[in-house]
Chains A and B, each alone.
Chain A
Amino acid sequence: MTQSVKRTFAVFVEDKPGVLNRVASLFRRRSYNIDSLNVGATHEPGVSRMTIVCDADTDKARRIEANLYKMVNVLWVDDITHKQTIDRVLALIKVNCDREQRDEILKICEVYRARAIDMSPDRITIEITGPRDKVEGLVSVLRPFGIMELVQTGTVAMTRGAEKHDLAHPTVPASRNDAA
């Protein structure tokens, strides 16, 4: 038994109606709590990719993976938690901002490599992309100014290597290779 850590799964699924519901339903039914779930198209027609982040120890991660594989519409599951990955979150943050505060906020944006994308006399809207902790950092720095609205995506993640997901490969869950 290992400690529970935030796990990231890349899940390739058939792009069919209801697949998101099936995957979400699996997590709910087995009491696996989803931190974030992102879904979108891939470069392969008919294949969507989900990035699912949830808390799990090694055992639970294997069971999540094995249960995902049992679903007819799931093509490939990759637990990329311990791989070299690039993870990104996108957030839009609308902040209270009068004329005197503008410079300060824009400087903060520079530090975080965020961009101001909209402005009015009393507010400013900022876009930031980056790892979750960077986004959280910016949010905490902006909070004293008064955040009016905040929206963010779930994490999307990709491994750094040249790993190719061969979707035609038979799906063999890792759990079968691991003894206690």
Chain B
Amino acid sequence: MTPANPKLKNRIGESLSGAQIIWEALVREGVEVCFGYPGGAIMPAYDAMIQYPIHHVLTRHEQGASHMADGYARASGQVGVCIATSGPGATNLITGIATAMLDSIPMVCITGQVPSALIGSDAFQETDITGCTIPVTKHNYLVTKPEQIAPTIREAFYVARSGRPGPVVVDITKDAQQQSCTFEWSDEEIVLPGYHPDYAPLSEQLEEAIELIKEAKRPILFSGHGIIKSQATETLIEFVEKTNIPVACTLLGLGGFPASHPRNLGMMGMHGETWVNKAIQDADLIIAAGMRFDDRVTGNLKTYAQNAKKIHIELDPAEINKNVRVEVPIVGDVAAVLKELLPHVDQTDRAEWLGYIDELKGDSAVRDIKNLPDLGKLYAAHVIHDIYRFTEGKALVVTDVGQHQMWEAQYYKHDYPRKLLTSGGLGTMGFALPAGIGAKFAQPGDSVWVICGDGGFQMTQAELSTCAQENIKVNVAIINNGFLGMVRQWQQFFFGGRYVATPLLSPDFVKIAEAHSLTGIRVEKRSEVEEAVRTAEATEGTVVIDFRVEQEDAVYPMVPAGANLHDMIERPPPGNQDHNPIFETGEDE
């Protein structure tokens, strides 16, 4: 938590400017990297920065800075930090802040504010950023005096990382940065009168849960983002291996329970596997661990898992009975709760239920595009499956939002936590490249793959020049189908095939890469994928691969928004080739 940074001189008791105190506080909170963009109201802070052991990454847009801080936090589990000036600088952070809020990512955003005497006067570059960000932050602060800076930043980190994490904005006026005061720092535990975010599970509820688990014949466990956040993977594996309860993952839960584990069924929900969704509908007990029954997971709530009793293990009491009513809520840290339950649950083999789920898989392997032959055409699923194979499943993958995101979730099998970063809750296009850069700073030893669509990439492609300036390496795989693919798919399925505003003209991405003195590769055939992936892995510096995939492929299976979870649109099987360009092909892979 605190100083430990040997490069920091002890200046407690000295008179320092507010600007210096910002960095004193950040370094003492363990910050080594921050992402930002300077401007008028934050200039004193930037001026003081060079005195401190902090690496600042200059982004090309403040949205990039907040996504980078977010990616850094997701990859490391630490608090990500971004910094921007007042007005437009601060408002540009908001998309990234909202993204972090919906996925409960710990982040501290420092913004400059106009001098306190000018607040409320519509001064140049003045925005009420604390007002703007109330709905999209866990908490925020306006600081107008230098003495408030250190305690406020300390509190901001505490709030951001404790309980259910989230983004916190600290808005600091320019005069507070310029004035000086005696620097004081306390390492004592922070106690806030109205904030007690940690709950110990209640013993009656644990007992009720144990009873339900004992009685259950067809139980299923949901592994959500909370498993990753509370570092519950090992406990969960133990729990599952003892009880043989099959596991379904949410999108953000992927990697929290190893994909290759025999009890892992795969992803649930709108683009989840058919057998997973059917198993949920047939289950008699759901143990939801660290997830919040998002509408993309449940489909029609009226018909959702009607036969199942539900145990909801969740840190945030406000999530209990929000979307789905549950029999046993357990409010607490999911790792701690699973540890409490573990000794009391029975060793079971559950052959019948597991056999039944196997049968549910039916012909889905035949329908799986991965297993379909290839006659020279390039399908996104093939590309992602190949990236998975050639990176041996070890890459840290950051996805954007849309079709490629779902294909990645389906075909890149994540065995480790924090190796898939994606904007699940807010669904922010443009997230992938900057978040990937942030992740690379957090995990420099990892091979970072940014997988995005041609649409999302163009939203934040300017950050390629951040890669070049910082001389860092990420591999960018653009799944380029010439459409805003997911919207096009909805238009195809639900809007009479009218492709309104979805055909997308893109620049030559190879040349874009080259214009940044980076490497660009174009791939048009499946036979070229392996070489491209291997070249990217072996090349120094950021590589952009433009995968020109089939334009009108769709993500299957699909539960239309609001439909029953068991009513899925499946990929037509080979033989029924209408509307499906995939089956004109030859041999299996």
Contact = CB atoms under 8 A, between A and B. Distances in A.
Interface stretch (A34-42, A61-69, A102-110): A61-69
A14 B194 contact: yes
A177 B327 CA distance: 11
Nearest to B321: A59
A19 to B, nearest CB: 10
A111 interface: no
23 contacts: A14-B193, A18-B131, A25-B134, A29-B135, A62-B320, A63-B321, A63-B322, A66-B316, A69-B317, A70-B318, A72-B139, A72-B159, A75-B194, A170-B196, A172-B199, A175-B320, A175-B329, A176-B320, A176-B331, A178-B329, A179-B208, A179-B326, A179-B328
A5 interface: no
B194 A179 contact: no
B194 A73 contact: yes
Contacts of A86: none
Contacts, number: 76
B126 to A, nearest CB: 16
Contacts of A173: 317-318
| Most chain B beta carbons < 10 A, residue from A17, A66, A71 | A66
A141 interface: no
Interface string A60-93: 0011001101111111100000000000000000
B231 to A, nearest CB: 23
Given A63-B322, A66-B320, A176 B196 contact: no
A180 B194 contact: no
Most chain A CB atoms below 10 A, which of B134, B317, B322: B317
B317 A176 contact: yes
Interface string B125-142: 000001100110011001
A128 interface: no
A168 interface: yes
A11 to B, nearest CB: 11
A176 B202 contact: yes
Contacts of B322: 63
Nearest to A19: B194
A70 B199 contact: no
B167 to A, nearest CB: 13
B321 A62 contact: yes
Contact of B193 (A21, A167, A172, A177): A167
A21 B131 contact: yes
A173 B196 CA distance: 11
B498 interface: no
Contact of A72 (B192, B199, B202): B192
Most buried by B among A63, A170, A180: A180
Interface string A144-180: 0000000000000000000000011011110111111
A52 interface: no
A21 B327 contact: no
Interface in B186-201: 192-196, 199
Interface residues of A, number: 33
Given A168-B193, A180-B325, A66 B134 contact: no
A13 interface: yes
Contacts of A17: 142
A6 interface: no
A105 B242 CA distance: 79
B interface SS class? mixed
A171 B192 contact: no
Given A172-B199, A179-B327, A72 B194 contact: yes
Contacts of B195: 72
A113 interface: no
Contacts of A177: 202
B327 A180 contact: yes
Nearest to A70: B318
Interface in B306-321: 316-318, 320-321
A18 B202 CA distance: 35
Nearest to A18: B130
Interface string B286-327: 000000000000000000000000000000111011100111
A167 B194 CA distance: 8
B317 A66 contact: yes
A30 to B, nearest CB: 9
A143 interface: no
Contact of B321 (A21, A25, A167, A180): A180
A172 B197 CA distance: 9
Contacts of A176: 199, 202, 205, 317, 320, 329, 331
Contacts of B318: 63, 66-67, 69-70, 173, 175
